[in-house]
Amino acid sequence: MVTIMYMAQVDLTRERIDASNGSLIGSYNKNIDVTTTNCFSAVLEVDSRGTRTSTFSIFNTHATNSIDYDIWGNVDSNPVTAFTGTADTDYDNGWVELKSSTSQAASVAPAVETLSNSYTKVVVRVKSTSAGNAGVVRIWHRGDN
């Protein structure tokens, strides 16, 4: 039996909440139950133009295997050159590493990462901490202006 895993990212429409001092526009993105591989792969790509702050919740739901994650942002204007995962190439195209590789144990509370600067695009990548020991990740993003 062969199991094929693919990215099932969901991008929800922006909401507008009116308040007495103006309005808040939010964006939501999520990708749940992603099985990690031995190499970093993008599990969430967020168009963050117009977003001043972003909060990510990264949850490893596997019972025993840990995962590693990192976060990259692009500071170039549109169009954004696709993220390749090769540092020298990405640095030349406006990508910067916002959160270096961080390990998350199995079944612990979700990691929460907050970005306070604006970027054109943000990519979150995950991989198995130990080769051959896949983790299962659920990731959410909320961005506000």
Q: Tell me what the mean pLDDT of segment 25-39 comes to.
A: 90
Domains observed in the chain:
28-144 (2.60.120.680)
pLDDT at 127 over 60: yes
Task: For residue range 66-119, list pLDDT tens digits in order.
Answer: 999 999 999 988 778 888 888 888 988 999 999 999 999 998 999 999 998 789
**Helices (H) then strands (E): counts for the chain:** 1, 9
Among residues 30, 120, 136, 39, the alpha carbon closest in space to that of 85 is found at 39
% pLDDT > 90, the chain: 57
Alpha-carbon gap, residue 8 to 113, rounded angstroms:
21
Q: Which residue has the higher pLDDT, 103 or 9?
A: 103
